[in-house]
Amino acid sequence: MSSNYHNTRIFFMAHFMIFFLFLSFSQSSANDDNSPSIICKNTHFPSFCKSILPTTGNYSNIYDYGRYSVHKSLSTVRKFISIVQKYLRRSKNLSIPTIHALQDCYFLADLNKDYLSTTFKTVNKTSKILPILEAEDLQTLLSAILTNTQTCLDGLREINSTSFDPWSLRNDILTPLINDTKLHSISLALFTKGWVPKDKKGTKITQKKLVFRNGHLPLKMSERNRAIFETISRRKLLQQAADQILVSNVVIVSQDGSGNFSTINDAVAIAPNNTDGSKGYFLIYVTAGVYEEYVSIAKNKKYLMMIGDGINQTIITGNHSYNVDGYTTFNSSTFAVVGQGFVAVNITFQNTAGAINHQAVAVRNGADLSTFYSCSFHGYQDTLYVHSLRQFYRECDIYGTVDFIFGNAAAVFQNSNIYPKLPLQNQFNAITAQGRTDPNQNTGISIQNCTVKPADDLKFSNSSTQTYLGRPWKEYSRTIYAQSFIDEFVNPLGWREWSGDFALNTSYYAEFNNTGPGSNTSARVTWPGFHVIGAADAANFTVSSFLLGDYWLPQTGVPFFSGLL
């Protein structure tokens, strides 16, 4: 064997070893990039994330870990439901506030089970970025899961400090639920990182040009249904065949016995279950009158439309409150809706508990793709609970005092009137209290082309009541006022702290091109979370971008504008 051959062999072997070491290092680096420690940097709770994600098994990327996290979230929700059921079976030994809080938790966990089941079916079959609409749907559901869990926590904390019960709620429910909240946050973060497109701007659907007359929707229905409707209604429906809102069936609620039902709840009960809206809305026409009943539109009552005879003509009223009746804020509502695709038109909703009874909700809305058009909401503290999912309000009147538009939905208000009222002595008014708890939630309150003026009782009083645009209820509170008229009674600071410096750095409060004497931003708060924004940023909180409303609002028949004015 020649020395040249020997040297050549050594040369190639040396290079092969170098190449092998380089390849091994590269593979190791790639694997490290997909390890739990790296994946968890995308989450809000990286330490907790590393403690729950598997370190062995067939997990190689964010999709694998995302699927694992969503499935684990689903398992914990099922376990939590069984624990709550155990406590409710012992309800005769529990205080009334505790029972109410646990009933809320069961209700909300049952929704979470549905949302997680839906999410897991999708993430389990794909490892790529989803189309914009599908991604938005699932991010909305995962955001709502966090909201539902937080609502349960808030209710339990309220009663845990004031009531004594024979079992330890803290050990059995409260502490595990805090960890569940972290897990759901991780599921949301990994889904957002892996499946949600970075650019959420989709192709717009051209809005149909619908004809409105005195706030009435053009309804497309069978001759039989039209005859039924017009037998009671004092007005004739539009007769155009084109561009009408499809209605599958009509029932009429009338207190004088001339309709199908005398109560709203009886009409809701016979609505079909789990429809997809393709055959039209189930229409409940509620004639003029004062309906003293507590109405709940359940999750299986989808695509239900409720039309009244007008604001202050058709009135749904109740007086439950947190302070007196032992209800949680969540279940104090006069009217509650979770059924997808709900539409309300020409109705007044109110809670008459009064300022003295503190938290008392008129409407609690947790219905995805829901719409309120030409409606009014009357209360004091916590009037309108925009709890979760995607919501739109148009040409509505909202009255209240402390935190009277609050919650953690993605909610847009357009062309509406916001009326702060006279609160209790030594109270101040905060119009909004937005409840975003996680930076990956696609939620917030957007108030566009609205009018903020004092209600008459505040306007003509000699009170020194201070009114603010909002305050941060939760850590990542997010509220935007755009192109709205703000009257002079609003405090020049604009915004009020919740408690000390809580959320002043992490909240997002913004104003864009507002008018009126109260819109001057020169003396506004100097928090890091407050911003005077331009058109590019404001556009992110319009119907088109924030709700993707171009895809679903046209079918409601409710007028809207997609972007900035």
- How buried is 121 (Cβ within 10 angstroms: 0-12 exposed, 13-18 middle, 19+ buried)? exposed
> Does 403 participate in catalysis according to the annotation?
yes
| AA letter at 44 | H
What Cα–Cα distance (Å) separates residue 520 from each residue in 205, 486, 512? Answer: 36, 9, 11
Cβ density class 124-153: b for 16+ within 10 Å, e for less: eeeeeebebeebbbbbbbbbbbbbbbbbbb
- Give the whole-angstrom CA distance, residue 423 versus residue 376: 19
Cβ density class 389-400: b for 16+ within 10 Å, e for less: bbbbbbbbbbbb
Q: Which of 190, 199, 254, 209 lies closest to 228 in space, CA to CA? A: 254
Q: Which two tokens stand for residue 143?
A: 């955001």
Three-class secondary structure of residue 373 per DSSP:
strand
Q: Which of 329, 326, 380 lies closest to 350 in space, CA to CA? A: 380
Q: SS in 3 state form for 264-313?
A: HHHHHHCCCCCCCCCCCEEEEEECCEEEECCEEECCCCCCEEEEECCCCC
Whether residue 292 contacts residue 348, with contact meaning beta carbons closer than 8 Å, is answered with no
Residues shown for the chain:
565
Sheet holding 417-420, edge to edge: 289-292, 314-318, 348-351, 376-378, 397-400, 417-420, 451-452, 485-486
Cβ density class 322-338: b for 16+ within 10 Å, e for less: beebbbbbbbbbbbbbb
Q: Which of 350, 365, 360 lies closest to 314 in space, CA to CA? A: 350
The active-site residue out of 368, 403, 438, 550 is: 403
Which residues, including other chains, have CB under 8 Å from residue 280's CB and lie 6 or more apart? 220, 221, 245, 246, 247, 248, 303
For the chain, how many helices (H) and strands (E)?
14, 27
* DSSP β-bridge partners for residue 174: none
- Give the whole-angstrom CA distance, residue 322 versus residue 332: 6
Whether residue 446 contacts residue 413, with contact meaning beta carbons closer than 8 Å, is answered with yes
- Give the whole-angstrom CA distance, residue 416 versus residue 375: 10
State CA 460 to chain mean position distance.
Answer: 35
Question: Which is it for the CA torsion 371, 373, 379, 380, positive or negative?
Answer: positive
Which positions are catalytic? 403
